[in-house]
A and B are shown apart, each in its own frame.
Chain A
Amino acid sequence: MTRLVLTRLVDLAFVLLGVSLLVFCMIRLIPGDAVAIMLGANTDVTPEKVAALRSRIGLDQPLLTQYWHWISAALRGDLGTSLWTGRPVGEEIASHIWPTVQLSVLALVIGAGLAVPAGCVMASLRGRAADVAMRLASVAGLTIPSFWLGIVLILVLATLAPSLQMLGYVPFWQDPLDNLARLVLPAVCLSLPILANLSRLVRSALLEALGQDYIRTARAKGLGEWRVLYRHALANAMIPFVTSLGIQTGYLLGGAIVVEQVFAIPGLGQLILGAIGDRNYPLLQAVILLVTSGFVLVNFGVDLLYRLLDPRLRD
């Protein structure tokens, strides 16, 4: 086990290094120049001005030097300075991260919370009309475009309850109830694919477990259908469920980009879209690095957990 953890740690370092290099290169390869945008469209731009600005923000150095400066500072906890506002990137991220984290956690809670009972119902009704209907619904939940759903939801609610204040974001410590009220709709939007995915996962894990010997034994002992489902099969189904949660965190951020845009939530998604438009290299690099590293680390943790949970994989 120790050896395994060690090899995995080496791999992890390799992956993180690769991710940082890829992020760095990708952003440098994006056509369009930060300096050009900073100087704006309608101005006198002289070559000297461009050169002065380039050297001020360090864009005139060789790529490898830029990478080294960036990554070594990042390891010391200094993520650089945002090009436009002059604020430390860490501060910018800190001021955007909570809405996204809250939204994601809420979506995860809604999605995962409803997925277990939904999956159980589907499994217990296997093959019957209700199971088929729920499966169709879950496929629909998985394939409905979230940006479309968000706009439609807003318009529908605006027609039905025009005086509802549902846009924007209020910090939790300022007004917890208002905060949650405004996040419910976007969180539901974001949670649909999670719900669909996880409920199908629970269903198939349950069906698989139900086919195995120890369940047959339990069943033979005369235990009721629901008890068999809950006590035995569900415990077994939890392993893939937990693993899949790790992967869902990756989906959440992608989904949050669009949902935040629609519901006017000032989170990481907004920060990323803005930084792409402005060619705000230091900010964009840092956010993407943070998000991807977070995803890698979460999945590393889940992987270890998975091995701990599943005795067959422990050696």
Chain B
Amino acid sequence: MAQLSLRSVLSSGVMALALVAGMAPVVAQAQVLEVGVDASPVGLDPHLITAFPSFQVVSGTIYEGLTAIDKDLRVQPSLAQSWTISPDGKTYVFKLRPGMTFHNGAPVEAADVVASFHRVTSKDIASPLASRLLTMDSVVATDATTVTLTLKEPTAPLLVSIATLAIVPRSFEADKDSLQRNPVGTGPFKFKEWQPNGFIALSKFEHYWRAGAPKLDGVKFNIVPESATRQVGITSGQFSMLANIDPATALQLKGKPNVRLAETLELAYTVIGMNTSKPPFDNAKVREAFNYALDRQEIITAALFGAGVPAGPLSPALKDWAVPTAQFACYKHDPAKAMALLKEAGVTLPVTITMNVLPRQDIKDIAQVAQAELNKAGFKVELKNQEIGAFVQDWKNSNFDTFASANAGSPDPDDYFYRTFRTGGSTNVFKYSNKDVDGLLDSARQMTDMAARKAAYAKVQATLACEGPAAHIAYGQLFSAVRANVTGFDMIANRSLANLADTAVSK
């Protein structure tokens, strides 16, 4: 009773204060979706950005590619309404939708597609996406709405990898500065205003090619670094959406009045990588022991609050490709077996190693749980919590024993495996080299027969799971929190917010 009255006195006091200070209660704003995000984008040029904070603001909202990825991770037409592939798999002919315009009023034509592809591969622009077009031989505008793309060799994942390759007006081909601040695309929303570290506002693009979209008048991304503050923002109704939040945040918002959680299994995964170029992880038995020592389910329960599944080399979201983890022997938690393998490997116990940790709370938790598990199974792990710059540099220079990190994943197995696990692959920081794996990866990317390709990747997965250089830990459940009056929003496993085109806010 005493507590109750104290509380009501306090709250009426606060309300009085609020009135005096002129704070108005929330008024639902006319169809502008207020989104709370955790970090500020550093730039908005679709060909230069690499980080999630930038990606989720622009991808599918401001910019679109020839193709698009839907929520089942399958390829759909986007700016290209159709395409044909030659029998040898080397020539793609894309047919553009007629009558589309860019946000600056210029028409969308084949020449813009050609210019965009050239922009991505240009040395001067130095786009990190250039590797997506590594096998491109030439790209030509046959007529105003037809683009012919010729490849040096068949590239199975092409349609997936060009989905997030934005098409920009040809006038920007050699311009590496303008789009960072003033993006111009074809998407349902056009750029309106950016208050650095404050917010980014987009407004409805009236001439969007898809009739009836977008439904919103605008989207405003509010940058709020503190997790607790974001949560208050959505429970108070100041924000209508928190996009792509972690399980811990989601769990805290569960059951809050007027807040609904959307979820999907994430394409991104958490991983502990091992350096195979030096002891002890140059020994496949030690890597296998490492896997036996880990209890993935416990890690998921602890660090992801149970919201996730143990990870094999491919996400179960890739229903056509992934081998179930039950088939991997080393995924059964068995510290005794781990010890035995270490003894077989002839290393001195305990095996002293360091683990570099990506500075993200879920990864820090994963590392701490893994450390406790590994220490019980013959390892002695020292965690090195680094800031992002040092972490990336050590990662890039293979300067680690092990590292705990997260990676974005790809809807196509080749896109991930080839650069990561093939000898000399561009992100093979583990310095892993396995002739069988190399052979399988080389042949699989040229296969057009789906069954054969699937069999090849199944073998690769079986090898990578237990003696590969990366212990895949978990695919997390990805959440977005929305207010109850937000309709039509669906999540996409790659964190794209393209779906905002069909989202509406009811009064």
Q: A residues bordering B, Cβ < 8 Å?
A: 30-34, 36-37, 39-45, 49, 52-53, 84-87, 92, 95-96, 151, 154-155, 157-158, 160-169, 177-178, 180-181, 184, 261-264, 266-267, 270-271, 274, 277-279
Contact = CB atoms under 8 A, between A and B. Distances in A.
Given A45-B426, A177-B22, A264-B223, 20 more contacts: A41-B392, A44-B131, A44-B426, A52-B123, A84-B180, A85-B196, A151-B228, A155-B232, A158-B236, A161-B14, A161-B18, A165-B238, A167-B238, A168-B222, A180-B21, A263-B229, A264-B229, A266-B223, A270-B40, A270-B225
B397 to A, nearest CB: 9
Contacts of A87: 181
Contacts of B22: 177-178, 180-181
A85 B14 contact: no
Contacts of A178: 22-24
A165 B390 contact: no
A176 to B, nearest CB: 9
B198 A31 contact: no
Interface of B: 7, 10-11, 14-15, 18, 21-26, 40, 42-43, 50-51, 123, 126, 128-131, 177, 180-181, 195-199, 222-226, 228-229, 232-233, 235-238, 387-390, 392-393, 395-396, 407-408, 419, 426-427
23 contacts: A30-B389, A31-B389, A31-B390, A32-B390, A33-B389, A36-B396, A37-B388, A39-B126, A42-B50, A42-B408, A43-B128, A43-B427, A87-B181, A95-B195, A155-B228, A160-B10, A165-B24, A167-B229, A264-B223, A264-B225, A266-B197, A270-B197, A271-B196
Contact of B389 (A52, A92, A168, A277): A277
Given A31-B390, A167-B224, A266-B195, A154 B42 contact: no
A153 to B, nearest CB: 11
Given A41-B395, A49-B126, A158-B232, A32 B42 contact: no
Contacts of B198: 168-169, 266
B229 A32 contact: no
A162 B426 contact: no
Given A40-B50, A42-B50, A164 B226 contact: no
A36 B387 CA distance: 13
B235 A158 contact: yes
A198 B40 CA distance: 36
A42, A181, A277: residue with the most chain B Cβ atoms closer than 10 Å? A42
CB-based closest 7 A-B pairs: A32-B389, A40-B50, A266-B198, A177-B22, A43-B128, A266-B197, A264-B224
A167 B235 CA distance: 12
A31 B399 CA distance: 14
A86 B11 CA distance: 47
A136 B254 CA distance: 41
A263 B427 CA distance: 38
